[in-house]
Amino acid sequence: MSTRIKTPNLDDIWVKWKEKAARTDRKKMEKQFGTKGAVFSLDAISAAEYVKDTMKEAAIYFAVKKSLGPAPTGKEENLVTAPRVGREQYYSFKGAGKINKENWKGNEKVPHFESIQAVPCKNCKGKGYLEDKCKTCKGTGKIEEIFTVLVGEEQKKEKKPFSYPCGACYGTGNRTEPCKECGGHKNMYKYEILPVPFQSVVTGIPILHSSAQTRYEKEIGEDLHKIIEDVEGIKFSDFKELESKTEASLGYMNKNISKTIGAAKTDYRKHEKDKDAQITSQIYLFPMIQMMAITKRGTKFEIYSLGSGNKFMVYSNF
């Protein structure tokens, strides 16, 4: 069973608008609608005189709670040599509490200063150098030479070994080379690129789709969001039901309304899939009236109503 919702009467919308406009800025109303030499009266400002065009449209509203929260989880690690550690820009959040994402300038994941850790170099086992046999003495520690010595009266040539300590290894037979991996710094350094600890902020966001061709959809949505309980619409729990009952509920239909339902449905699905979002209301369908008006002074403006004849809101760019 579907309920037919009564569209507000045009004069009622007009009255609600002009009273609100006079409360907000009476001087402006006087300037735009007053007559020189006559006492200004709201009663004299009639819809019949100043409303040039009226369109029957529809709007679909639902509310979404979005948590602006921690950045994507997971960490990334970098392993670098000692001289390169300092090339990174580090951040520290120690004792800083949670960060307000709206104020944060920069990446959502950053290198954390406290995550820097020394990791003994695997290549040299943390020694900083590699030991190897001395190439000059082949590990013997000695340089061996053969002298040709002339022996005795006959000066007979005899080969005699002679050795002295190797100067390349100071006679140890071993040589050390700085480790190419760690550059002799013994350690490599590891740091983590972690999410900025954002605080979770949950905000309620109004989603409004209207078939009226208006620049004020966002503003109307925000106004509606604040007083949603005081504006009467028809609530649906899914789009299938809404689609099948829109025409019967409104008592009218047009191409733009069908398109709007399609767009709202797509948007709804998107929010359903978004893991940071939660749809917190039913889907509301509102009759929407769009009025094109002009003041006595010739200033064009628009008035919108959303809701039923019993409970509706007005929005205007006046």
Which positions lie near Zn ion, rule CB under 5 A?
A: 121, 123-124, 134, 136-137, 166, 168-169, 179, 181-182
Tell me which residue of 40, 4, 191 sits closest to 112, measured CA to CA.
191
Residues composing the chain:
318
Task: Kindly state the smallest distance separating residue 98's Cβ from Zn ion, in Å.
Answer: 40
Task: Kindly state the smallest distance separating residue 168's Cβ from Zn ion, in Å.
Answer: 5
- Give, for 14, the enclosing helix (H) or strand (E): helix 10-24
Spell 200-233 as b/e; 16+ CB within 10 A means b: eeeeeebbbbbbbebebbeebbebbbeebeebbb
Task: Kindly state the smallest distance separating residue 144's Cβ from Zn ion, in Å.
Answer: 11
Task: Kindly state the smallest distance separating residue 164's Cβ from Zn ion, in Å.
Answer: 11
C-beta of 81 vs 281, nearer to Zn ion: 81
Is 44:176 a contact under the CB 8 Å cutoff?
no
Task: Kindly state the smallest distance separating residue 114's Cβ from Zn ion, in Å.
Answer: 25
C-beta of 10 vs 130, nearer to Zn ion: 130
C-beta of 162 vs 252, nearer to Zn ion: 162
C-beta of 134 vs 234, nearer to Zn ion: 134
Region for 315 from its dihedrals, namely left if φ exceeds 0, alpha if ψ lies in -120 to 50, beta otherwise: beta
Tell me which residue of 2, 58, 60, 61 sits closest to 252, measured CA to CA.
58
Q: Give CA 110 to chain center in angstroms.
A: 16
C-beta of 181 vs 217, nearer to Zn ion: 181
Three-class SS state of 76: strand
C-beta of 169 vs 194, nearer to Zn ion: 169
C-alpha distances (whole Å) from 64 to each of 145, 201, 205, 215, 222 are: 90, 13, 5, 21, 12
Task: Kindly state the smallest distance separating residue 177's Cβ from Zn ion, in Å.
Answer: 10
